[in-house]
Structure 1
Amino acid sequence: MSEKTMRSFAGGLIVAAVILGITYFLEPNDTKNTEAAEPATAEEPEKQDKDKNVELSADEMQTALKAEGFIIHSEDEWKEINKDLQDSGTLKEENEKLKEEVKKAQENNDKKGDGETVYRTMLTVTSGMTSIDVGKALESAKIINKGMDFFNAVEKKGYENDLRPGTFEVDSDMSMDEILKTVFKK
């Protein structure tokens, strides 16, 4: 093939591609027609109900929503969840204020140079936390050196299932046993 023939062939391919692209994008979409022709399956009860204008009972709605992966709560349960969230938000605010006070106290101690710094914090334990989580919180608050030491002490004492939710004041002067007695039920 000569150079001129090759250019003509390439130009023809480009023109064909442009025409096909224009046809593809400007042609009306027929998916609506095919969806209407297909019968709704059992997995799609809401489509069947919309098409038939049938109202579902409360139990049927709950069943359909649970099948879709939603979690259903009564109004009282929802209010309790929101109350818990608001309470935890308030506790977080108080904890932040206390952290600021501790920071100011540390700065004052650093200026005075009075020796060893004592760290104090309000430890908030929520339901669902583990002793590992509490150990990490104590470590980040500089109450203990290693969170795993706390976890190991809990395991040694057998307190794994006795963690009680609440807010506790702990400081770095407390021994590990004193911290365990403060945070656990035993």
Structure 2
Amino acid sequence: MKANSMQSFAGGLLVAAAVCGGVYYFGEKDVAPIQAKEKPATEEMITDLLAENYHVYAEEEWQDILESVAQEAYDDAVANMEPVESEQQEQQTEENIVYHTKLILTVSTGMTSIDVGNALVKADMIENSMSFFNEVERRGVANSLRPGTFEITSEMTLDQIITTIFK
């Protein structure tokens, strides 16, 4: 900004402050007093609520009601429970549970087979990224990495993973 425009701006602020100060100083001083509302007594509030068909309880009564409702719900839940047979438990413990993981791998332009190997190691699909890189180099497909999104499962072998990701 130039000095002249800066002076004009400052002059405008000074005039605005003077006008606001004059209105404040010479303005009306008569202000109506604020009337405070009186808070109704507790008994009045209770009678008003009861007249509106609300229920009003003391703290001890409310806690007793909550405890009785909770006890009834607990008793109903216990009554509806079916006993678990021991044979079902034995069958479940004898079964071997095998978890399969699925990885959605996104290969972008500029990624190398080392980057892909590191992503597979982070997802626990392979144990060593260098062995993956060495296998890719041995097959000669390191330059054939396809950009895209691939679905890799833990059931896939290293050969299947390489054929999926590389051309």
Select the structure of larger CA radius of gyration: 2
Larger helix percent = 1
The answer to whether the superposition gives a TM-score over 0.5 is no
Normalised by the length of structure 1, the TM-score is: 0.38
Normalised by the length of structure 2, the TM-score is: 0.42
**Greater relative CO, 1 or 2 (CA 8 Å, sep 6+):** 2
